[in-house]
Amino acid sequence: MALQTIVTLSILCLTSLPFSLSTVNFKCEPTPPIIPIPVYPTDVDLLQFALNLEHIEAEWFLFGATGRGLDAVEPELALGGPPPIGARKANLDVVTQRYIAEFGYQEVGHLRAIKSTVGGFPRPLIDLSAHNFATIFDDAFGFHLDPPFDPYRNSLNYLLASYVIPYMGLVGYVGANPNINGFVSKRLLAGLLGVEAGQDAVIRGMLYERAFEVLKPYNYTVAEFTTRISNLRNRLGMCGIKDEGIIVPLELGAERRTWSNVLSANADSLSYRRTPAEILRVVYGTGDEHNPGGFLPKGGSGTIARSFLRSHRQ
C-alpha cells in the first residue's frame, strides 16, 4: 500500500510540472565538424572498394539463411551484375538461421548506405560454391579433406565457412580509417565497422562455445579449423600475423594471460588492419592482388581493385 501511494504521488508531481518531456529541447544532433566537407574525393575509392566484400557477405548470408539473394531482396542494388555462382540455402538450425538472416539483411543496408553516399558499381561475379569453399579448406590444411568440405551441410560447417568472410571486412575498414577524411565518410565507415565487428564477434563466439568439439567426419576440432583458416589468411596476406583462431598460445592472448581468443586483436587488444592489396590477396586465394580467383574469379570491381589488374597487364 505504501509503494502504491509513493507511485501515485510521483505521477501527480510529474503531471503538475509546467512542462512535459515532449517540450524539452534536447540536443540530439552531433557537434558540427571542424572541417565541413562531407566526402573527400579520396574517400570515394576506398569506400567503393568495400562494396566487393559487402556484396560477397550479402549473397553469402542471404542465400545461406533464406535460399534467396540480393536479386530477390533488393535487386536494384545489384545494378545488373551477374548472380553468384553456387550459392544456396544451408541446412541451419533455427537460432543460427535467425542470426544469419539478420546478417544478410544488414548487408543489404550496408550496400545501400555505401552506394547512396559515394556511388558504386554492379555486383561483381562471386563464387560461393561448395567447391570454392572446399578448395579454401584444403589449402588451409595443406591436403584434400575427405569428403570435401561442404559449407552448406549443417550449422557448424556454415559457421566455419562464415569465419572466412566478415573478418576481412572488419580489418579492411580498420585499415581504411586513417585515410578517410570527410565527416560523412567517417560516419559511414564507423557505422559499417561497428556492425562488421559485431557479426564477426557473434560468429567467433558461437564457434568458441564448440571450440573443442571434433567436426565429423574430420578428426579436427573446431578450434583447429579456425587456426588453420587464420594461418592461411596470414600466409596469403603476406604481412605477418593479422589473424588468429579462437584458441591461441599464451603469447598471442590478451596481455599474454589467456589462451582464450574470442576476439582477434593485437598485443594492445586493438583490431588488426589490412590494406586493399592484402585483402585482395586473401579474397582471391592466390596471394597476389593482380591474380583473381577464389571468391572473385574475375577480380574485384572499383578503381582500386581494377588498378591492380591493369598494372598486371601492362
The candidate with the shortest Cα–Cα distance to 176, out of 311, 314, 302, is 302
Q: What pLDDT digit, counting tens, does each position of 178-191 carry?
A: 999 999 999 999 99
Q: Which three cell numbers stand for residue 271?
A: 583490431
Please report the DSSP string for 252-301 in residue order. GSGGGS-SB-SS---TTS------HHHHHHHHHTSS-TTS-BTTBTT---
- CA 283 – CA 234 distance, rounded (Å): 12
The candidate with the shortest Cα–Cα distance to 175, out of 158, 163, 192, is 192
Element (H, E) at 5: helix 2-15
Mark the ranges of the chain whose per-residue pLDDT is less than 70.
Answer: 1-25, 311-314
- 175 with 156: CB under 8 angstroms? no
- CA 113 – CA 295 distance, rounded (Å): 23
- CA 242 – CA 244 distance, rounded (Å): 7
Q: What pLDDT digit, counting tens, does each position of 195-224 carry?
A: 999 999 999 999 999 999 999 999 999 999
- CA 271 – CA 36 distance, rounded (Å): 28
Q: How far is CA 47 from the centre of its chain?
A: 14
pTM of the model: 0.90
Tell me how far CA of residue 234 lies from CA of 77, 131, 228, 280, in angstroms. Answer: 32, 22, 10, 13
The pLDDT of residue 43: 98
Tell me how far CA of residue 90 lies from CA of 63, 100, 148, 253, in angstroms. Answer: 8, 10, 16, 33
Question: How many residues in the chain?
Answer: 314
Torsion of Cα atoms, 289 then 42 then 243 then 219, to 10°: -60
The pLDDT of residue 24: 53
Q: Is the dihedral of CA 56, 58, 64, 66 positive or negative?
A: negative
Q: Is the dihedral of CA 204, 49, 104, 153 positive or negative?
A: negative
- CA 245 – CA 260 distance, rounded (Å): 9
- CA 161 – CA 149 distance, rounded (Å): 9
DSSP-assigned beta bridge partners for residue 42: none
The pLDDT of residue 166: 86
DSSP-assigned beta bridge partners for residue 214: 221
DSSP-assigned beta bridge partners for residue 85: 127
Residue burial 182-204, b: 16+ Cβ < 10 Å; e: rest = bbbbbbbbeebbebbbebbbbbb
The pLDDT of residue 312: 64
- 128 with 84: CB under 8 angstroms? yes
The pLDDT of residue 9: 42
